[in-house]
Amino acid sequence: SGQWHIPDGGLDPLGLSGPRLRKPIVAAVQGICLTIGIELLLATDVRVAATTTRFGQIEIKRGIYPVGGATLRFQRECGWANAMRWLLTGDEFDAAEALRIGLVQEVVDAATVLDRATALADVIAAQAPLGVYATLASARLALPATEEDAARRLMPDLQPLLASDDMQEGLRAFVARRPGAFTGK
């Protein structure tokens, strides 16, 4: 179908199709956060990372591109050049860089990352719910309408990449733990 399958009555955790959760989402992240992990973070509202977290949007190293929302949101959240630095190289970066570019709002010790995210969620939950919902809805309405158009193109634009020699090479390189030798075919 060229789309992620969302069960009837379900919500797309990436926020790419269907209704969005009207409540704010606070995320905690630690360990290794690659590809769809970053895209899930970009679909949340406030993010806290452990100091030891490693990030990487590595699809480009495999001959494909991110289809979970990174091409829609990374540049909006972190600025064009910051997003392109990581989207176009596939390099890994650390929590300090994630904080510097605005991917996360706080960096704390791994032992306290979940507690800190929960504490922020508690502060938000203590506010007037109607005001919180209205703030989130208004902020989402201010997002460019072209994000929805671009979201509809993600999977169709991925299809030719999945059939490419470069994607096959990307998979072989991943398994062999080596850089890909891409040909553009």
Q: Is 92 assigned a catalytic role?
A: no
Q: Is 148 assigned a catalytic role?
A: no
Name the active-site residue from 59, 77, 97, 169. 59
Q: Which of 132, 35, 44 is nearest to 86 (CA)?
A: 35
Dist. CA 37–CA 30, nearest whole Å: 10
Using a 10 angstrom Cβ sphere, with 0-12 exposed, 13-18 middle and 19 or more buried, the burial of residue 16 is: buried
Dist. CA 63–CA 175, nearest whole Å: 14
Reading the block at residue 127, the tokens are 């506010």
Using a 10 angstrom Cβ sphere, with 0-12 exposed, 13-18 middle and 19 or more buried, the burial of residue 100 is: middle
Name the active-site residue from 39, 92, 106, 147. 39
Q: Report, as residue numbers or ranges, the catalytic residues.
A: 39, 59
